[in-house]
Amino acid sequence: MANIILLGPPGAGKGTQARRLVEERGLVQLSTGDMLRAAQTSGTEMGRKVAAVMAAGQLVTDEIVIGLIGEKLAEGGSGFIFDGFPRTLAQADALGDLLARAGQRLDAVIEMQVDDEALVDRISGRFTCGNCGEVYHDRTKPTAAPGVCDVCGSSDLRRRADDNAESLRQRLMEYYKKTSPLIGYYHHAGKLFSVDGLAEIDDVAKSVARVLDGAKGA
């Protein structure tokens, strides 16, 4: 099964598309953001360390996130969607090494292209289900019944601490400075595919599917 990276700035729709791929293709979503948020709620020392960094919209250290992904890959399996990882060139190199050690390869890096204006709108309207992780938006993807998750029926709907204008500005800066160089890195490796992330969610999913179906034979 394919191993892919979903690459794009905060709010590009990486998590939304990753969840669809889990459901439709049985791939395994590895979101470093979700792992770090889980560490915060588990009360570990690492969780306490990263909480302030994440709330400020800065990147957590390479060492921590590479460690988290390394642990997951060591459990075995294949068909991974890397969502929010890698975010620096050092993380990209480390992922290449980890996959090679596991006898696996990276099949495609899907860059989700969006503009900053759309990101502000998406981030400010986002909420997620605290129980199953489904992602919603006040305007573009509301719940069918107010206050209740469509997928699991939970009423634990939450907004993220870092989804505010100041943190988003910092997250975008981090993306352009440290993550966007990965576009050139993976283009050079012949792995990069770009999709229009501004399209409707279903249309983005179709573009992603076309890339994956093409990449299978690559």
Name the residue whose CB lies closest to ligand AP5.
33
CB of 119 vs ligand AP5, minimal distance in Å = 8
40 versus 78: smaller Cβ distance to ligand AP5: 40
117 versus 200: smaller Cβ distance to ligand AP5: 200
Q: What whole-number distance in Å separates Cα of residue 103 and Cα of residue 78?
A: 10
CB of 50 vs ligand AP5, minimal distance in Å = 7
Contacts of 62 (CB under 8 A, 6+ apart): 88, 90, 91, 94
| Catalytic residue list | 14, 87, 126, 160, 171
CB of 160 vs ligand AP5, minimal distance in Å = 7
Q: What whole-number distance in Å separates Cα of residue 125 and Cα of residue 123?
A: 5
Quote the distance between the C-alpha of residue 213 and its chain's center: 20
Q: What whole-number distance in Å separates Cα of residue 69 and Cα of residue 108?
A: 18
4 versus 54: smaller Cβ distance to ligand AP5: 54
Chain residues in the site for ligand AP5 (CB under 6 A): 8, 10-16, 32-33, 36, 53-54, 57-60, 65, 84-85, 87, 91, 122, 125-126, 135-137, 140-141, 162, 171, 199-201, 204
On whether the CB atoms of residues 62 and 91 are closer than 8 A, the answer is: yes
Mode of pairing for the β-strands spanning 108-113 and 4-7: parallel
